Structure 1
């Protein structure tokens, strides 16, 4: 029981700090920490991450950090694509799901770590698909920006359905790469999308007969506690340090998952 609470709190903490890591770490926490299969862990991970992300999203809205139109666009795309991920997840083995999950984590770790080292050499005036209007401070909506946000939302929705990860690990680096929104705004917007897509996907699972266990409820409550702590601490920690730390954590967890999938380790 204590282990369940600690794992949930850690997942919420990372989600609050990065806006990306909580979702992708929820499944490993439940599979490696509690011995569940990916299929068993998926609905609990979605509930915990979606609920915890809601806390951060509401805080971001109150602070004016959430790009709510962008969040709504990505969420709608995610809702439409998530059932495809659920369909695929129901038709592959748990070992294959765990392997795919581990590989995704390694890719995410590399993509988030490498740009940090070169970020200082990147021009702040670089033209991106979604640019803020200097006059209004809002995104300048055009066909290219809309297509970009729909693609990001659709990809996050597929991963949410397939792996039960919330999609924040994909939204944060992609939205940051293709827009000039500041990091704290990117994280807050990501949390809103994660909330909407995770809880929407969870509704599909509940309609299929999935039920919530006491362990799942405890994991969710502890994730909320960790989320609050993470959001309070995030403004005091440099964004590059958060990205690098999260990247290294992802590498370690993914290697543990690969060891369990192929060798029964962990």
Structure 2
């Protein structure tokens, strides 16, 4: 119980300091730290990540940054396809799941280490028009122009996010944020707020789906979740005091180390 609390607080601190993407450490903490299987760890990790994301999503809604129609569409498709990921998670060997998760961590670390190129873009409320994207904000209303192309793009993103969430027990922010940057003209504040809402919704759906598949969260899981929420709250208090680049490099380095260890365990 003490170990679950410790890992939960540490994971929560990472969540609070780095954002929802830090939740990718939840599964390794449970698998490597507590000796759980991937299928046992996934719903607990989703619950912890979703709780943290919900806090940020509520704050984004208060400030009018969340593209809630887009978030609801993505989450709805995620709800349809998340059970597909859960089904395959119960069919695939544990070693394959660990290797897939390790590769995912490497991809997240690479994105963290790569310096982003800053471009002039529109405001979060659509007062500028630049470069034709799949989903564009209307300059008059500040909302998405819901063309067939835009709807299909966001629906496809939701489907992919749902499958990955159900399969590996992650919220999907590592997919949603770069996809929104590439395919929409929403600025980063709006992207992050919308991503947090999607993560919280898809995480909740994934947890419910896991329950239907017969997975239960035991006392250790509940302790881990509660401790992670406490750690996340503490991390948010210190987030502004640590340089963003230092956080990115530190988090990416931890991801690479954990991914390497998980691969060795899987193939060893």
TM over 0.5: yes
Q: Secondary structure at the match of 1:90?
A: helix
Aligned pair partner of 1:158 in 160, 163, 166: 163
- Normalised to the residue count of structure 1, the TM-score between the two structures is 0.87
Measured against aligned partners, the alpha-carbon deviations of 1:69-95 in whole angstroms (never above 9, x if no partner) come to 111011011111111111111111111
Shift of 1:57: 1.5
User: Residue in 1 aligned with 2:38?
Assistant: 38
Residue ranges of structure 2 left out of the alignment (5+ in a row): 122-129
1:191 paired with 2:196, answer yes
Structure 1 residues 85 and 215: CA distance shift in structure 2, 3 A = same
Residue ranges of structure 1 left out of the alignment (5+ in a row): none
Measured against aligned partners, the alpha-carbon deviations of 1:171-221 in whole angstroms (never above 9, x if no partner) come to 122222222322232222111111111111211221233222111111111
RMSD of the TM alignment (CA)? Answer: 2.3
Aligned pair partner of 2:228 in 223, 230, 245: 223
Structure 1 residues 143 and 191: CA distance shift in structure 2, 3 A = same
Structure 1 residues 148 and 166: CA distance shift in structure 2, 3 A = same
Map 1:72-151; keep pairs closer than 5 Å.
Answer: 72-114=72-114, 116-117=115-116, 119-120=117-118, 122=119, 124=121, 125-151=130-156
Structure 1 residues 132 and 250: CA distance shift in structure 2, 3 A = farther
Shift of 1:112: 4.3
Deviates more, 1:94-103 or 1:188-197: 188-197
Query: What count of residue pairs does the alignment treat as equivalent?
Result: 260
Q: Distance in 2 between matches of 1:195 and 1:177?
A: 22
Shift of 1:145: 1.9
Q: Distance in 2 between matches of 1:241 and 1:143?
A: 41
Measured against aligned partners, the alpha-carbon deviations of 1:98-119 in whole angstroms (never above 9, x if no partner) come to 01110122123224433x24x1
